[in-house]
Structures are given as structure tokens and as C-alpha cells.
């Protein structure tokens, strides 16, 4: 009888307990290496590239979404010699279900520029003489 009572009490206690695990991260993006864009001849190869990654908040992958998104963005840009990502931005958010965080989302956007060999000033501009 005593054992049954103990089992019942334990069952009640366990029914009232819950553990929630969320994975997240502090993100720092250093994709600002393109500088003095107007000082050197260049051309825009692509604009408005976008890459996203998402995962449930209780999945360890949701702590590394920014890396997954950058992998995807770079693969999509197919960066060649002298090409670089420019104007990169990062957005991140959480989708809630029944008032609780459920899915984490990260999206990166970028343009691709290609630097041209040094030539006459403004050689990249087709309207230049």
C-alpha cells in the first residue's frame, strides 16, 4: 500500500514537471571587407541574393543557423576570383506556436561585386569616354 502511494505521488509530481531546452546564439557578422567601392573599377555581378536557414528552437542546429545561411549564400553566389559579397545584411526571428517559441529563422542578403583590373579612371562605366 505504501509503495503504491509513493508511485502515485511520484507520478503526480512528474506529471507537473517539464523541462524546456532552447538553443540560440549571439551572432556577429563580419562581411564588410568590401571598402572604397567607388575608388576602384568594379561591376555588379548579382544583386539581392538571399539565403535562409531554419530549425526548431530545441534543436542544437538552431544555434548555428547564421553559419548555415552564410554557407548557402556563398554557394549560391558562386564567388570567383576578385568577386566579393557586398551590402550583406542579417535578419533573424522566431516563429511562435501556441504562444511559445517553436522555430528559429535566419536570412542573409547580399550583392556580388567583381573588381576589375586597374585601367583608365571610370573604365567600368560604359558611358565614360
**Site residues for another protein per CB under 8 A:** 12-13, 16-31, 33-37, 39-41, 60, 63-64, 66-67, 70-71, 74-75, 79-82, 84-85, 88, 114-118
Task: Give the CB-side neighbour count of residue 47, counting CA atoms within 13 A.
Answer: 2
Q: Report the residue number, 1 or 28, with the smaller CB distance to another protein.
A: 28
Q: Report the residue number, 1 or 32, with the smaller CB distance to another protein.
A: 32
| Cell, residue 125 | 562605366
Cα distances (angstroms) measured from residue 59 to each of 19, 94, 106: 14, 13, 14
Q: Nearest distance from residue 129's CB to another protein, in Å?
A: 22
Q: Report the residue number, 43 or 95, with the smaller CB distance to another protein.
A: 43
- Residue 16 near residue 91 (C-beta atoms within 8 A): no
Q: Report the residue number, 4 or 28, with the smaller CB distance to another protein.
A: 28
CB under 8 Å to 108, separation ≥6 — which residues? 29, 50, 51, 52, 66, 69, 70, 72, 73, 88, 89, 90, 91
Q: Nearest distance from residue 82's CB to another protein, in Å?
A: 4
Phi, psi of 66 (to 5 degrees): -65, -35
Amino acid at each position: 500500500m505504501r509503495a503504491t502511494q509513493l508511485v502515485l505521488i511520484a507520478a503526480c509530481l512528474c506529471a507537473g514537471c517539464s523541462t524546456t531546452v532552447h538553443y540560440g546564439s549571439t551572432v556577429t557578422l563580419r562581411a564588410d571587407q568590401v571598402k572604397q567601392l567607388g575608388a576602384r573599377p568594379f561591376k555588379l555581378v548579382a544583386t539581392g541574393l538571399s539565403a535562409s536557414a531554419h530549425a526548431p528552437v530545441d534543436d542544437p542546429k538552431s544555434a548555428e543557423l547564421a553559419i548555415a545561411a552564410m554557407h548557402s549564400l556563398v554557394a549560391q553566389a558562386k564567388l570567383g576570383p576578385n568577386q566579393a559579397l557586398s551590402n550583406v545584411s542579417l535578419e533573424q526571428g522566431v516563429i511562435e506556436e501556441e504562444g511559445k517559441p517553436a522555430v528559429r529563422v535566419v536570412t542573409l542578403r547580399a550583392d556580388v561585386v567583381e573588381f576589375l583590373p586597374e585601367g583608365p579612371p571610370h573604365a567600368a562605366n560604359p558611358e565614360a569616354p
